[in-house]
Structure 1
Amino acid sequence: MPRKRPHTITDWDPEDVAAWDAGGAAIARRNLIWSVVAEHVGFSVWSLWSVMVLFMPSDVYGISLGDKFLIGAVATLTGALLRFPYTMATTRFGGRNWTVFSAFVLLIPVTATIVLLAHPGQPLWMYLVCAALTGLGGGNFASSMTNINAFYPQRLKGWALGLNAGGGNLGVPAVQLLGLLVIAWAGNRQPYWVCAFYLVALVIAGIGAALYMDNLEGPGVDLGAMRAALVNRHTWTVSLLYIGTFGSFIGFSFAFGQMLALSFRDQGQSAAQASLHAAQIAFLGPLLGSISRVYGGKLADRFGGSRVTFAVFLGMIAGAAVLLAGGGSIALCAVGFVLLFVLSGMGNGSVYKIIPSVFDAAARTLPLDEAGRAAYSRSMSGAVIGIAGALGGLGGVGINLVLRQSYASTGAATTAFAVFAAFYAVAALVTWRMYLRAPQGALRRQVDSKVSTAMRVSGSKNSMTS
């Protein structure tokens, strides 16, 4: 068993089967549970404005459809960019400590949202600033995933990372479902009940993390690991794939409800009716996508992350084709989006399985001892998880901006769906080329060209623990 001080664990080695069976698994599971809780609430806050816009009739708030897409894009952008510093935060401050802070700091944007929506007619920039602050919740993903990656052995990373991320992703449909209940109960003019619920949830998540989570001492993600990851081509290929999967998930999560509401308005419904009917459907996509992420990770553990990812992108091309063929049909629109949500969720899990697999294989080719190889694999995997998570979030920005431009130019989303289908085709080709056609040869050439960098990273980690 690893030595432990109050809320700090030393000598953590999840690959030690005896220590894992003697209590390590229980420790990891406890940290995973509260990591999921905190990340779940963080995701809800991040996607809060995807619900708030349903409570903002244009004639009351003076916010157009294009403005609403822009609000979603800003929230997505800040959440993506904050994943870079959040990736290194658990190493600098400790996984437990940062989880506590990252939960409590979200009380600020949630409170600001209540104040802002209570006073309609404010200038657009105020809504954009408030939405940007909710992006702090998007940063939670990177710190949470980097932290849980360190707790679990290689053989269980696909399942653990999939469960952690899937539980966090469930925050998106959770806030949308809560918005639906509030609209059905109190109408589309009282969004404060949604925000009040999350004020309580954030306090519970922060206190739970403080009581039950641990900090890990030892190798982690620092600037050296981030620099090494930035010059590794696998960082960029995996990030491209994650833009296609997670970018689609979070981008569509912000946009789906707005598009449905617009379709219902086109059928002659009032703003209140359109919001209610859109909310009744919109949460299903993120819900199924969040659940499928866990199974995407499990399938990747069994069949390999690259195989599952390749199949996912082929399916997403089909999903985009359904949207292109659907025209103005709400039924086909819902079917196409649900298919994209489910597949993007699976792809989120499978892409994140590729990361530790690639760097574990790379570590085994390096002229280092076992401790050095473990330090290299852990630090590089954590760094790439953060970078890919940030760039994947930027894909959500692109989704909202492309949709905004498509509506502005043609009054419909058809052009946007064609762009998405083309991107999924490129991602499928990259997956096949990099990780299916000749993965071992490609990986070996990559490792050979980066051995000196890897040794510097591992050396810095060893010096930290000596």
Structure 2
Amino acid sequence: MTTTVTATATDVAAPPRADAPVELVRRPGRWIDGWNPENGEFWQAEGRGIAQRNLRWSIFAEFLGFIIWQLWSIVVVMLPGAGFDLSSSQLFWLISVPSLVGATLRFPYTFMVAIFGGRNWTIVSAALLLIPAVLLGIVVSNPETPFAVLLLVAALGGVGGGNFASSMANITYFFPQKEKGWALGLNAAGGNLGTSVAQFAVPIVVTIGAGATMNVALAGWMWIPLILVAMWGAWRYMDNLSSAKADFAGSAAALREPHLWVMALLYIGTFGSFIGFASVFPKLIADQFPEFSTFQVGQAAVSLAFLGALVGSLARPFGGRLADRFGGARVTVGAFAVMALGALSLIWTLPLQSFWVFLACFLVLFAATGMGNGSTYRMIPSIFAARGLATGAVPGTPAGIKIQRKAAAALGLISAIGAYGGFVVPQVLNASQLATGGYTAAFYGFVAAYVGLMVLTVLVYVIPRRSLAQQRI
């Protein structure tokens, strides 16, 4: 094993075999050629340290991406108190449009690492977060700001949602197959926690020392130093891998696979529900229990809305672990069942007008969405592996490699499609409020959707099927 420093470009063909000797070639701009984490000797001696260093800064950058993506979820409940005269429907649009933009950006962001390099794109994608953060600080300072301008700035926050796709795509190249699951799980969990941190920290910062007023502009300004740190850290400590390749053919093949669309639908139900409910939870609390919207602790205001995103984020790894033990389809069925019961419990207990019962029901719902996130994501490689067995695509053969490429592409595509749930959930609640003056109809709709998705999972993935080689998914 050798490490060479040179300024010449090298061949960036397919990665060598696991037993092939590793010769790292470092080029200016922190480019690394010859990366092969499957070589055990190289991985233990040098590769693991490099990969973990890149993972740490990737998590930090993605964490900030989720914060900016979901920042308006907590800002909107503060706008009326800051002098803005907006309807409830307009507030729902400010909540949901970042998810719409973020989900759409996940498609091109998936390929940016291969085009520009993981380090380079992390710097760029972190720098893009400065735009919505700065503009938010400007537009919320003036209550006369037109709604269209507020909506545009909220939409720009969607760049943070795209970061997930590029971050996950980058990290998958650094780790060997046996450690990808853990590394990607940490990367995803670190990002998801950004929603909770934003909803916890923003009310404190904008109210502390402000007396009877709120300095809502700080909701944007407060993240700028951390974004600059993320840019510096990516520039100083991350690397570009020349082995990172854009697999457009694999993505096109995955889009023709019916199971991709079935799993995308299931992921809208799990992750889409998580990110959708996380974004509207502060507003739902303010609408149903305004006296509990914030709690005064000294000079600062604290919102309990952050608990929903926190519980859902922490539950995600356990969903993946249970899927490893019992099968992803079974855990997903259980998650949808609990989600349906949680939504029903909300409908049944709302007449009690008990905030604590309302909070408990929602935390159960959030925990189930988190578990479902982990289990559905774990199902994807299992499904494609089963498809390979059913079609005789043996691992290592050209047909087997084609299946692996489709599975890898499907992970990114499904994560992008699932994120549209973050737009759908708030808009369903908005439509319910406009049509009926309340949210009960929307939650009945969610119950029906979860039951339907549960039945779909049973029929397609729990019952053994010849098309999946009778495998347990």
Q: Once the 2 structures are TM-superposed, how far is the Cα of residue 105 of structure 1 from its aligned partner?
A: 0.9
Paired amino acid for 2:112? A
Q: 1:395 to 1:373 in 2, by over 3 A?
A: same
Show the counterpart of 1:449: none
Q: What SS is found at the alignment partner of 2:245? A: coil
Q: Does 1:309 align with 2:335?
A: no
2 CA distance for matches of 1:342 and 1:334? 12
Paired amino acid for 2:26? R
**Contact 1:158/1:350 (<8 A) preserved:** no
**Contact 1:155/1:301 (<8 A) preserved:** no
**Contact 1:34/1:213 (<8 A) preserved:** yes
1 CA distance for matches of 2:267 and 2:132? 27
Paired amino acid for 1:348? N
Q: Once the 2 structures are TM-superposed, how far is the Cα of residue 184 of structure 1 from its aligned partner?
A: 4.5
Q: 1:4 to 1:366 in 2, by over 3 A?
A: farther
Q: Over the residues paired in the alignment, what is the CA RMSD in angstroms?
A: 2.5
Q: What SS is found at the alignment partner of 1:189? A: coil
Q: 1:67 to 1:275 in 2, by over 3 A?
A: farther
Paired amino acid for 1:205? A
1 CA distance for matches of 2:302 and 2:451? 31
Q: Does 1:3 align with 2:28?
A: no
Q: Which has the higher contact order (CA 8 A, sep 6+)?
A: 1
Q: Once the 2 structures are TM-superposed, how far is the Cα of residue 195 of structure 1 from its aligned partner?
A: 1.7
1 CA distance for matches of 2:321 and 2:442? 32
Q: Once the 2 structures are TM-superposed, how far is the Cα of residue 32 of structure 1 from its aligned partner?
A: 1.8
Q: Does 1:414 align with 2:440?
A: yes
Q: Once the 2 structures are TM-superposed, how far is the Cα of residue 361 of structure 1 from its aligned partner?
A: 4.7
Show the counterpart of 2:10: none
Show the counterpart of 2:463: 437
Show the counterpart of 1:341: 366
Structure 1: stretches of 5+ with no match in the other structure? 447-466
Q: 1:188 to 1:224 in 2, by over 3 A?
A: farther
Q: Deviations over 1:412-452 (max 9, x none)?
A: 2111111111111122222222222125x223599xxxxxx
Paired amino acid for 1:240? L
Paired amino acid for 1:207? W
How many residues of Structure 1 are paired with residues of Structure 2 in the alignment?
Answer: 439
Match of 2:426 among 400, 415, 433: 400
Match of 2:184 among 161, 170, 176: 161
Greater per-residue helix proportion: 1
Q: Once the 2 structures are TM-superposed, how far is the Cα of residue 373 of structure 1 from its aligned partner?
A: 6.5
Show the counterpart of 2:303: 280
Q: Does 1:44 align with 2:67?
A: yes
Q: Does 1:101 align with 2:124?
A: yes
Q: Once the 2 structures are TM-superposed, how far is the Cα of residue 72 of structure 1 from its aligned partner?
A: 1.1
Q: Once the 2 structures are TM-superposed, how far is the Cα of residue 120 of structure 1 from its aligned partner?
A: 1.2
Q: What SS is found at the alignment partner of 2:164? A: helix
- Bigger drift between 212-221 and 162-171 goes to 212-221
Identity rate, percent: 41
Q: Once the 2 structures are TM-superposed, how far is the Cα of residue 45 of structure 1 from its aligned partner?
A: 0.2
**Contact 1:159/1:298 (<8 A) preserved:** no
Equivalent residues in 2 for 1:236-315, closer than 5 Å: 236-265=261-290, 269=291, 274-276=293-295, 280-315=303-338
Q: Once the 2 structures are TM-superposed, how far is the Cα of residue 215 of structure 1 from its aligned partner?
A: 2.3
Show the counterpart of 2:451: 425
Show the counterpart of 2:252: 227
**Contact 2:58/2:187 (<8 A) preserved:** yes
What's the TM-score, normalizing by structure 1? Answer: 0.87
Paired amino acid for 1:106? L
Q: Once the 2 structures are TM-superposed, how far is the Cα of residue 357 of structure 1 from its aligned partner?
A: 3.0
Paired amino acid for 2:445? V
Please list every run of at least 4 consecutive aligned residues from structure 1 whose deviation after the TM superposition is greater than 6 angstroms: none
Show the counterpart of 2:93: 70
Match of 2:50 among 10, 27, 30: 27
Please tell me whether Structure 1 or Structure 2 has the larger radius of gyration of its CA atoms.
Answer: 2
Show the counterpart of 1:452: none
Paired amino acid for 2:150? Y
Match of 1:113 among 131, 136, 140: 136
Q: Deviations over 1:388-421 (max 9, x none)?
A: 1221111111100110011112222111111111
What's the TM-score, normalizing by structure 2? Answer: 0.86
Q: Does 1:191 align with 2:216?
A: yes
Q: 1:322 to 1:279 in 2, by over 3 A?
A: farther
